Amino acid sequence: MLYYQQVDKSWWAEALRTAVYLTNRIPNTARSNVTPSEVFWKQQPSLDHIRVFGSRGFMHVDKTLRTKCDSKAHKCMLGYAEHAKAYRVWDFDASRIATARTVTLDERPPSSVQMFVMYENFPATTLLDNDLGVVSNVPHLAIPTTPSGDRDVEMDTPTHADDVAPTDPDGR
């Protein structure tokens, strides 16, 4: 979790806390199709609020806690509140942990380009589309660090006949 979102290792305790929170809400092998949370609370837990740990985002600041010129949101990082229907967030502006219900998150990896470059030395990656059952090998392309000179690129364009398909079996 720390590696995926490029969160500093000093946040390992929050990552562990989140891992335990999630583990208690997914089925385990001790009881088939029953979560530990369901055994304890006698109801199935909701997973609608689950987000990517360490996601960068913004928590809303209530009108009563700000003046007209203050920002309406503080930069934060995500975790889960233990005893409330809210998120446990690190408020970067106040340098403290807070609990917030209104949070807007960016759950994408911090830098997809860096991850792509990091694995470019591997010859190819096998992709599997579970919906279609299609397997394909996709070679990794090196990203140039400096622009190479002007090159003419020729592209094959389909002819008009390739684009048009008959609308019915009779070809009308």
Tens digits of per-residue pLDDT, 34-64?
A: 888 888 888 888 888 888 888 888 888 889 9
CA-nearest of 113, 121, 44, 50 to 80 is 50
Residue 141, SS3 per DSSP: coil
- Say if residues 51 and 105 touch (Cβ distance below 8 Å): yes
Give the amino acid at 42: K
Host H or E run for residue 160 = helix 160-163
Q: What is the DSSP string of 68-104?
A: TTS-SEEEEEE---SSSSSEEEEETTTTEEEEES-EE
- Say if residues 28 and 36 touch (Cβ distance below 8 Å): yes
For 14, counting Cβ atoms within 10 Å of its Cβ (0-12 exposed, 13-18 middle, 19+ buried), the class is buried
Give the end-to-end CA distance of the chain in Å, rounded to a whole number.
57
- Beta-strand pair 56-60/73-78: antiparallel
Burial 38-70 (b: 16+ CB within 10 A, else e): beeeeeebeeeeeebbbbbbbbebeeeeeeeee
pLDDT of residue 16: 92
User: Mind listing the pLDDT tens digit of every residue in the chain (172 residues)?
Assistant: 888 878 888 888 889 998 998 898 888 877 778 888 888 888 888 888 888 888 888 888 889 988 988 888 888 877 888 878 888 888 888 888 888 888 888 887 776 544 444 444 444 444 444 444 444 444 444 555 555 555 554 545 455 554 555 555 555 5
**Separation of alpha carbons 34 and 26, rounded Å:** 8
> What is the reported pTM?
0.55
